[in-house]
Amino acid sequence: MNEDIVQILAVDDESMNLLVLDYIFRKSGMEIVGVGSAAEAIQLLQQQEFGAVLSDVNMSPMNGFEMAHRMKGIEQAKSTPIIFLSGLRHDNEYIAKVYECGAVDSLIKPIDGEVLRSKVSVFADLYLQRKKFRRAIREQLEMKDRFLSQVSHELKTPLNSLYQFLQIVESGMAGELNDEQRDYLGIAIRNAASLREMIEDLMEVTRIDHGKLSVRTEALNLESCATSCIRSMRPAAESRRFTMNTDLPGDLPTVWADPKRVRQVLTNLLSNAMKFGGEGKALTLRARISPSEEQMVEISVADNGPGIAPHLVPQVFDRLCQVDQRLDIRRQGLGLGLFICRELVEMQGGQIWVESQLGTGSVFTFTLPVLGGHHDRNVADESSTALIV
Ligand SMILES: Nc1ncnc2c1ncn2[C@@H]1O[C@H](COP(=O)(O)OP(=O)(O)O)[C@@H](O)[C@H]1O
Ligand SMILES: [Mg+2]
């Protein structure tokens, strides 16, 4: 189909009127698609977009006004301009009804073809412009996505090597370090690590946008997964005089989840608690069977940091949300971590939320399905499709 030809939907129960319209719009850059009833029109409007609708009013069982009202409920048709073509008397009451149902005009039959064509061509031009504009935005967004994805891939390799060599130097393998050098190296490693996390976050979001985020669910011992996560974060916590407590009962049921993704969520929540908690504070990692749903296990990370203002709580899982406006803190992230966490938890069949009080602290909680519970089966089906992409 020629992209520059605008389709106009014509609705009339008199087939002769449709033929006349077809003739009027021949060679106009517009094309008439005719239907014999308002019901057929509604069906078609749900399937495709039109530049304008030309409709008779006096039709049965659904008349033109009712059709116009129904169009407001169809996303892609609710702003399509409607022009009525009617033999009815255009008195005040009629005109009021025309505008009340959202139509832009009404012409009395018999129609002057020239007048109708020029009126409709204004809407057709606007429609074409809107379409071109939307296409341009889509292309720009695709370009931005490609750019972000390429840049983050390109940055990742040299950064990884930088990070590894810094660690070699820090380990003393390349020679003894004095205290000052060790301090400076510590700062360099922390910054390289946070840069690596940001790049990883960017790559994850690109995967989410392309539906390519994968989870590989399996039977998982949550206690050992959480313990190893805490262990790997301990050095960072100790360097910031942060106390980490755990409450992980030994008899927790096995869950059905992706170990790598659970670690990723936990690491994100733990590092947030440390980042926003402030030096010298404490956090607690807990797990238990969900009190509201015994087929789910609930894992929470509680901190006694500054907390989040109630009106900002609903936004923290949104993409690019950064509640803390202090520049030094904002620079340590992109505001993507919790957005990624929510995606990962939901892909494993769980939910994530936060309870927080200003000045007291925050508790981030997420759930995972218990192995053999009814939730895991649904997720297992979905995760196998997620793996194919
Ligand atoms: N434990 C927490 N205490 C207070 N605020 C938090 C906590 N965790 C997250 N936030 C707020 O939510 C925002 C989003 O978090 P996140 O998506 O992980 O982004 P980032 O860590 O990159 O800033 C943070 O910028 C911060 O303002
Ligand atoms: Mg974060």
Would you list the DSSP string of 238-256? HHTT-EEEEE--TTPPPEE
Q: Is the CB of 361 under 6 A from ligand 1?
A: no
Q: For the segment 60-74, what is each residue's pLDDT rounded down to a tens digit?
A: 999 999 999 999 999
Q: Is 316 in the pocket of ligand 1 (CB under 6 A)?
A: yes
| Residue 365 beta carbon below 6 angstroms from any ligand 1 atom | no
Q: Whose CA is nearest to atom 24 of ligand 1?
A: 322
Q: pLDDT at residue 236 above 90? A: no
Contact of 370 with 253, CB cutoff 8 Å = yes
User: 301 CA to middle of ligand 2, Å?
Assistant: 13
pLDDT of 59: 95
Ligand 1: does its nearest atom lie under 6 Å from the Cβ of 272?
A: yes
Distance 245 CA to ligand 2 centre (A): 20
Q: Name every residue whose Cβ is closer than 8 Å to that of residue 350 and which is 6 or more positions away in sequence.
A: 257, 296, 366, 367, 368, 369
CA distance 282 to 279: 9
Ligand 1 atom closest to Cα of 198? 22
Per-residue pLDDT of 7-24, as tens digits, reads 999 999 999 999 999 999
Can you read off the two tokens belonging to residue 64?
A: 């033109």
- Please give the backbone phi and psi of residue 104, each rounded to the nearest 5 degrees, phi first: -95, -20
AA letter at 387: L
Of 12, 11, 55, 4, which is closest to residue 30 (Cα–Cα)? 4
* pLDDT tens digits for range 288-298: 999 999 899 99
Calculate ∠ Cα 367-209-371, nearest 5°: 25
Give the chain's length.
389
* pLDDT tops 50 at residue 215: yes
- The tens digit of pLDDT for each residue in 79-118 reads 999 999 999 888 999 999 999 999 999 999 989 999 999 9
Q: How far is CA 107 from the centre of its chain?
A: 44
User: Number of H helices and number of E strands within the chain?
Assistant: 11, 12
Ligand 1 atom 9: residue of nearest CA: 272
Kindly state if the Cβ of 335 falls inside 6 Å of ligand 1: yes
Cross-sheet strand order for the sheet of 296-303 = 243-247, 282-289, 296-303, 361-369, 352-357
Beta carbons of 244 and 231 less than 8 angstroms apart: no
* Residue 253 CA, ligand 2 centroid: distance in Å: 28
Q: Is 9 left (phi over 0), alpha (psi -120 to 50) or beta?
A: beta
More confident residue, 267 or 280: 267
Confidence class for position 385, pLDDT limits 50, 70, 90: very low
Among 312, 338, 341, 352, name the best residue to mutate to test ligand 1's pocket (greatest count of ligand atoms within 8 A of Cβ): 338
Ligand nearest to the CA of 330: 1
Give the Å distance between the CA of 323 and the centre of ligand 1: 7
The answer, yes or no, to whether any atom of ligand 1 lies below 6 A from the CB of 213, is no
- Give the atom of ligand 1 at the shortest distance from the alpha carbon of 333: 22
Centroid of ligand 2 to alpha carbon of 276 (angstroms): 9
| 65 vs 77: CA distance, rounded Å | 15
